[in-house]
Structures are given as C-alpha cells and as structure tokens.
C-alpha cells in the first residue's frame, strides 16, 4: 500500500518521521512515502529541495531529520495519484482547495485518515473535516487520528498516546501498524465522530485556558475551565451526533489531549498573549507561529454559528464566551463570569 501525506507543517513533518519508519519496516506498505509540501523559498532554495537533500523541514520542524524514504513533492495531485492511503494533516481552512485539486486524480479504492483538528460550517450546519473530504472526493472513506500529540514532543520520541477512530476492523489494524511505534502508542476505537470532534472542540477550551493564564488566575481556575470545557464537549457531541460513547472522552483524543493543549499548545499560548498584549489574534498568529495556523478561535466561530442557529448559546457559556471575546470585543473578565453560573453547577 502506498501512502501519501497531505501537509508538511510541524505536525505533518513529525508524523512523517513515524510513517516513513514504518513504511520501510513493514512489507504491506510501499517503502517510498510521498509528502505534499506547499512550496516556499527558504534562503533562496525551494523547501522541497531542502527536504529531499537535507531530509529536514528546516522551516516547520527544524532539528529533526526525516527518513530518506519520505519524498517531498510540490504538486498535491502528483503526490497523491498512486496512493492507497491519504494522510490529511494541514490547516482545515485549506482542505476545500486541496480537495478540488485532487478531484478525479486519486485511486477510487483509496481511503484517508484525518489528523486535522477543526470543523467546517456548511449551510449553517457543522461538518466534520472527514465528512467534508469524503463529500468532495466522491465518498472516499476517511477516518480520524487525534490525541495528546504536541508535534515537537512526538518528533523527539517522547512517549505519548493517540486515538484512531475507525469502525472498519481490517483498516483499523492497517492504520495502527502504519502509525504505531514504541514511543507512539495507538488505540483504535469505533466511535469515529467523537474522536474527531474531540480534536476540534478542545482547541476552544484551550483558548479559554490561555485567557486564564493571561489574567494570571492560576491553576485552580484553569482546572475549572478544563472540567467545564470537557462537560461542554460531551454535551455538544451528544446534542449533534448519534451513538456517542462517553468512554471515548477518556481516551487520548479526549481528556488527555484537552489537558495537554490547555498547558502546552499554541492555542493557549496565543490566547494568553492576546490578553496580555491586546493585539489582534491575526497579528499574534503571524508573530508567534512561524506560518502555522491557529485553530481555536476559528473553531469557536464555527461552533457559535451552529449554537446561534439552534438557540443554544446559553447552554454552552464557555464556548460562547471564547467566541465573544475573540470576535466581538467582549472583555476577558466575562470569561470568568461565565464559569460562575455555568449550567453544570445548577
């Protein structure tokens, strides 16, 4: 089976280290792994050329070598044309454009797995990224991988866990083999939608955690944000999706990812700077993330559109406060006020 990685930011490059290793190790995978790279010039050289000669993504994951069997390709259709497994790992805002470029140019038998933590609004309804990819690419089956997986720690080989949502046992076993190494433990569950939804919603909570840090309110307050945020994640999943397994929230994709993101992720970091500096989020994103995109505020906006449509903003005060502070100029202390009278306390 031939694997193509669609995306090459810090997370895409970190996961490429694992995929490249396993593709070379196991006979069922083609040794050569294509990685689509958005072409950029770095000190007068093309990024793809640097990756293919130095075997390092010097912009997004400097200091970590990529396996030599990972080949950077600047044209996404060329990268994916022979692939059996498409690994999606790019900011969710760019997915529709990439799907358009791949339409009619990939194998009909190919399937995908999304590592993208976000959601999409379609006709004022919420759509998971896996569903959006599937709809755009003639019903291609797309699964999800989410977990407490900060890219640089994964690249460094620090032990962590992740969750794959896949209801097909055979493909679940294949994906586990593709992604699991000694320091990256994979658990496969059948609750696909919940796995993916956790990956998106936790970024909203992480923005709230960043507000707490910016306001210097301490760990007790942050713990309350994490707990109430988790409760809103569970309530949201149950309200909008069927057959949600609450136990999935106890996997790495749920509580573990939530804790990690609220202490170490980029959404928390930028949200703290937003409170301290009063600069716009877009400006901070450019200053702090080296070309990477922030998911939390955008997801808060998209979720809020859904909540407004259903008249449910009051049921999700934490999600709603993050949206209003980020997009409507509400003062940050409103975030703490929303915690006092949270529905979970009634």
- The beta-strand segments (E) located in the chain are 3-6, 33-36, 41-42, 45-46, 70-73, 85-88, 111-114, 119-122, 125-128, 142-146, 160-165, 184-189
- Residue 234, token pair as written in the block: 């569970």
User: Quick count: other Cβ atoms within 10 Å of Cβ 341?
Assistant: 10
User: Quick count: other Cβ atoms within 10 Å of Cβ 302?
Assistant: 20
What's the CA dihedral at 173, 246, 11, 203 to 10 degrees? 170
Instruction: Let me know: does 203 contact 117? Beta carbons within 8 Å.
Output: yes
The conformation of residue 254, written as its DSSP 8-state character, comes to I
Instruction: Let me know: does 191 contact 244? Beta carbons within 8 Å.
Output: yes
> In Å, how far from its chain's centre is CA 153?
15
Going from the C-alpha of 44 to that of each of 41, 60, 66, 225, 286, the distances in angstroms are 6, 17, 21, 46, 21
Report helix, strand or coil for 184: strand
Q: What is d(CA 183, CA 205) in angstroms, rounded to the nearest whole number? A: 27
The conformation of residue 112, written as its DSSP 8-state character, comes to E
* Neighbouring C-alpha atoms within 13 Å toward the C-beta of 239: 17
User: Quick count: other Cβ atoms within 10 Å of Cβ 79?
Assistant: 22
Q: What is d(CA 202, CA 206) in angstroms, rounded to the nearest whole number? A: 6
> End-to-end distance of the chain based on CA atoms, in angstroms?
53
The residues that are catalytic are 202
Q: What is d(CA 132, CA 31) in angstroms, rounded to the nearest whole number? A: 29
């Amino acid at each position: 089976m031939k694997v193509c990685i669609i995306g090459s930011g810090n997370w895409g490059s970190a996961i490429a280290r694992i995929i490249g290793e396993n593709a070379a190790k196991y006979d069922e995978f083609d040794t050569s792994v294509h990685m689509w790279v958005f072409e950029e010039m770095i000190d007068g050289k093309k990024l793809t050329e640097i990756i293919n000669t130095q075997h390092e993504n010097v912009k997004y994951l400097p200091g970590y070598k990529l396996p030599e069997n990972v080949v950077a390709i600047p044209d996404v259709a060329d990268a994916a044309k022979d692939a059996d497994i498409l690994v999606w790992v790019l900011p969710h805002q760019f997915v529709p454009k990439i799907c358009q470029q791949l339409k009619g140019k990939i194998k009909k038998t190919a399937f995908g797995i999304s590592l993208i933590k976000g959601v999409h609004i379609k006709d004022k309804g919420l759509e998971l990224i896996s569903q959006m990819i599937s709809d755009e690419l003639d019903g291609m089956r797309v699964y999800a991988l989410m977990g407490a997986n900060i890219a640089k720690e994964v690249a460094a080989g620090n032990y962590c866990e992740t969750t794959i949502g896949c209801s097909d046992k055979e493909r679940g076993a294949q994906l586990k083999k593709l992604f699991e190494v000694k320091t990256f433990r994979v658990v496969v569950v059948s609750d696909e939608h919940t796995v993916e939804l956790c990956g998106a919603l936790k970024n909203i909570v992480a923005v709230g955690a960043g507000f707490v840090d910016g306001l210097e309110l301490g760990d007790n307050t942050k713990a309350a944000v994490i707990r109430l945020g988790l409760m809103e994640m569970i309530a949201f999943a149950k309200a909008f999706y069927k057959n949600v397994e609450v136990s999935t929230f106890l996997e790495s994709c749920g509580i573990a990812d939530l804790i990690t993101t609220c202490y170490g992720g980029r959404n928390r970091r930028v949200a703290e700077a937003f409170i301290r500096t009063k600069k716009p989020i877009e400006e901070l994103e450019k200053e702090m993330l080296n070309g990477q995109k922030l998911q939390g505020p955008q997801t808060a906006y998209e979720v809020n559109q859904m909540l407004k449509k259903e008249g449910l903003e009051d049921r999700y005060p934490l999600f709603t406060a993050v949206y209003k502070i980020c997009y409507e100029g509400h003062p940050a202390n409103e975030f703490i006020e929303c915690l006092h009278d949270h529905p979970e306390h009634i």
